[in-house]
Amino acid sequence: MDFNKELIDKIINVIVIPRCFGADCDEQYCEIANSIQEILNKREIEAEVAFGCTKLVIIPKNSNCVIKIPFNGEMCWNYDEDDYDFEPFHCANEDLQLEDGEDWDYCENEVAKYENAVKAGFGDFFLDTRLYCYKSGSMTYPIYTQKKASAGAFSHEAKYSDATLAYVEDSRKQDKFRWLGEYTDWICAAIERYGIKKVSSFVEYIHENRMDTDLHSANIGWDNDKPVILDWAGFRD
């Protein structure tokens, strides 16, 4: 992966990762993201901070990769103003049979599934994702990098053949693309790039390997004009 290593290292060195990193509470998510964004702004580092249910993502302007940091596995499932109950994320890596016991690390899950997909011949559908380093602090956190791409289900001014459109419409009626929803544009682009046979095999592959359980418009997108998935770790709830 070709990226601005000096910038990535600088970002990792200056950010502060709290020990409680990822309770399922929008207010706390926002506090964590905002505090990291403030640090980057003070250091005049141009980067955007975003987050989902399982990880925080730092998107540097002057790099062709993003930084992903997994939340530490606590989710708040019952709370009021004075009382919070926490439990671990549910088995991020159970289906992978990883031996390190860190079931909460959804980024680790992504890397393992990416490497398996490459071996299975489906690497083109995913972004290069790897463990980058560990950051020590109140606890040691794994830091991951992923090739940068544009999120979104729809391409601009794309035109597809009648045969592709007819196949996709028929497949949707048969519920073949279980996660597709309204993302016709993305799957059409994939078919015209790789062919119906490969895309059909790919759809079955991600279903069998639990890579389609959390796909939506923010988790699929484009590497230039190539349709790709940005986050395929899924979520066990």
Distance of CA 24 to the CA centre of its chain: 17
pLDDT interval class at 77 (50, 70, 90): very low
Q: Which residue has the tokens 């059909």?
A: 200
pLDDT interval class at 12 (50, 70, 90): very high
Q: What is the pLDDT of residue 43?
A: 94
Average pLDDT, the chain: 81
Q: Is 88 helix (H, G, I), strand (E, B) or coil?
A: strand
What span, in angstroms and rounded, lies between the C-alpha atoms of 139 and 68?
17
According to DSSP, the β-strands at 150-151 and 220-223 are: antiparallel
Q: What is the pLDDT of residue 10?
A: 95
Q: Is the pTM of this model over 0.75?
A: yes
Q: What is the pLDDT of residue 18?
A: 77
- Token readout for 185 is 């544009």
Query: Does pLDDT of 109 surpass 90?
Result: no
What span, in angstroms and rounded, lies between the C-alpha atoms of 107 and 166?
36
Query: Does pLDDT of 24 surpass 90?
Result: no
